[in-house]
Amino acid sequence: MTDFAMQTSFHVHSPTCGCPAEARASGETDKRPRVVIVGAGFGGLSAARALAKANVRVTLVDRRNHHLFQPLLYQVATAGLSPSQIATPIRTILRRQENAEVLLGTVTGVDTERQHAVLASEHGGHRINYDYLVLATGARHSYFGRDEWEEFAPGLKSLEDAIELRKRILLAFERAELEQDEEARRRLLTFVVIGAGPTGVEMAGAIAELARRALASDFRSIDPRAARVLLVEAGPRTLATFPEELSAYTEKALTCLGVELMLTSKVTGIDAHGVTLDGARMIPSACVVWAAGVAASPVAKWLNVEADRAGRVSVQWDLSIPSHPDIFVIGDCALAKDKKSRPLPGLAPVAKQQGEHVGRLISKITRWRGVPRPVFRYKDYGALATIGRKIAIADFGKIKLRGLLGWLMWCLAHVYFLIGFRNRFSVAIDWAWSYLTFERGARLITGSVEAAQPAPIAGNVAERRAA
Ligand SMILES: Cc1cc2nc3c(=O)[nH]c(=O)nc-3n(C[C@H](O)[C@H](O)[C@H](O)COP(=O)(O)OP(=O)(O)OC[C@H]3O[C@@H](n4cnc5c(N)ncnc54)[C@H](O)[C@@H]3O)c2cc1C
């Protein structure tokens, strides 16, 4: 970033800064339109990059300092990769983009009248003025109104979540090694994954492989291969968004890995003892993983507009919101529809393409006033899901892959889309190594370990959320 840009682009309003809010450029000499992007996930980052050559100032705000490659979070949770292999500092990514600045802060609201994004009080309650605002804050877990379950069944959305799950999974084996009581030991070695979408399938397959391969000969009192891994799903099949034949293949492959499938089973309770199904059956377990539901971040509340049941904001054909052509909502927090009026899925390619669209659109309308806004059309290139080592499925419409071929395609796609050469290289090497040796190199238990204390390892949800 040039000195000029550094000096002129950082101005944010604070309640005490004395700037009249309306005088947006007060104290600033840069007259270029300012595009504020909230969220540096797949959507926000691609919007920022698409604006690289535009005559605008880009301010990218995120509550974390890194962009996270969420599709590989389950590998961190199951000790296959370490956190730094799937996360990259946002400043590093945008280092060479001279019209962009990065701010670390949590946005808590939007003042649409004054055109301000408002930061949380712990970030000084600053207000960042915008000419165009792109909201790309993604989604979080949803426990369908049963938030008390989170303590016992964490989900997988951030690096903190993945590290916490890794700790719970590895600690369960450690505690079982110490445990004398057979029933308590069985409970420690029972892992329940709730939700058989792609994340649930990946988690269940990876825990089963960890137990049966990587840990198999590392313990003396227990046999890790005896661990039970249960995949619970309320619906009738796994991977409901994939064609039925690929679901059937997935179920067979999971069973071969030793995962017990519990389809058409509704979770009605989760506590320190385990999981209750259909109001009656209790499964004692010390390690439960939630992969069942997501809800959009509270963008609808900030904008004071209606949201669907998942909290997503209905956007127009150009991804702006009604009555506010200067505000765009993209990615997991947007409800955008395809040509047949079906809602677009919460997937990385959707967020990325939307980010690129909005970036190009802003670039165009800031160059030529009155130019018509293009319609957003999602290009679906297919879907992939992995089940375990050498087993994945890929759905490219007429072409469907499974087994080793699907897995190679899955590996290639994920390495290709990772950000940064170092991450791509190190992930490829790690995968090749564990392919040959079955080893999992990141088997680290971090944070406090209250030794000898039997599960549950409840942790502190408030602390994790705040982290
Ligand atoms: C475990 C898991 C596995 C997945 N696997 C796949 C897969 O295999 N393939 C696939 O296509 N998709 C997958 N997805 C979905 C995919 O990751 C999302 O669809 C995608 O990340 C959405 O992009 P986004 O930009 O909308 O949000 P995100 O990528 O979630 O980014 C949101 C950003 O906003 C920031 N943020 C949130 N709130 C605030 C705030 N108030 N203030 C400031 N910053 C904020 C966050 O820190 C984050 O950086 C997976 C998701 C998960 C959780």
Examine residue 195 and state whether it is found in any structural domain, yes or no. Answer: yes
Atom of ligand 1 nearest to the CA of 332: 26
Domains of the chain: total: 2
Indicate if 158 and 282 belong to the same structural domain: yes
Domain boundary among 311, 339, 367: 367
Query: Looking at the structure, do residues 213 and 152 belong to the same domain, yes or no?
Result: yes
Indicate whether 271 belongs to any domain: yes
The residue whose CA has the least distance to atom 38 of ligand 1 is 137
403 CA from centroid of ligand 1 (Å) = 27
Residues 226 and 284 occupy one common structural domain = yes
How far apart, in whole angstroms, are the C-alpha atoms of residue 134 and residue 364? 15
CATH of the domain at 116: 3.50.50.60
The boundaries of the domain holding residue 192 are 147-292+438-466
Report the CATH number that the domain containing residue 455 is assigned in CATH: 3.50.50.100
pTM exceeds 0.85 for this model: yes
Residue 60 is assigned to a structural domain of this protein: yes
Atom of ligand 1 nearest to the CA of 346: 19
What pLDDT sits at residue 205?
97
Mean pLDDT by 10 residues, the chain (467 residues): 34 44 51 97 98 98 97 95 95 97 96 96 84 97 94 96 96 96 97 97 97 93 96 97 96 97 97 93 94 94 94 96 96 95 95 98 93 94 94 95 95 90 87 82 81 43 45
Distance 141 CA to ligand 1 centre (A): 11
**Protein residue with its CA nearest to atom 29 in ligand 1:** 41
**pLDDT score recorded for residue 458:** 42
In a domain, 417, yes or no: no
Residues 230, 154, single domain; the answer is yes
- Given 335, 367, 399, the domain boundary residue is 367
Is the CB of 294 within 6 Å of ligand 1? no
Q: Is the CB of 198 under 6 A from ligand 1?
A: yes
Cα–Cα dist 279/403, whole Å: 37
Domain match, 89 and 126 both: yes
Is the same domain home to 211 and 310?
no
pLDDT attached to residue 125: 76
Task: Please give the distance, rounded to the nearest whole angstrom, from the Cα atom of residue 116 to the centre of ligand 1.
Answer: 24
Answer whether residue 379 is part of any domain: no
Asked if the structure places residue 448 within a domain, the reply is yes
Q: Are residues 121 and 182 in the same domain?
A: no
Ligand 1, atom 7: nearest CA belongs to which residue? 71
Query: Same domain, yes or no, for 233 and 319?
Result: no
| pLDDT of the residue at 65 | 97
Query: Is residue 400 a part of any domain in this protein?
Result: no
Is 280 inside any structural domain? yes
Q: Is the CB of 38 under 6 A from ligand 1?
A: yes
| 273 and 152 within one domain | yes
Domain check: are 274 and 347 in the same one?
A: no
Ligand 1 within 6 A of CB of 138: yes
Same-domain check for residues 73 and 192? no
Which residues are catalytically annotated? 202
Q: Out of 307, 337, 367, pick the residue that ends a domain.
A: 367
Asked if residue 309 and residue 227 are part of one domain, the reply reads no
C-alpha of residue 263 to centroid of ligand 1, in Å: 27
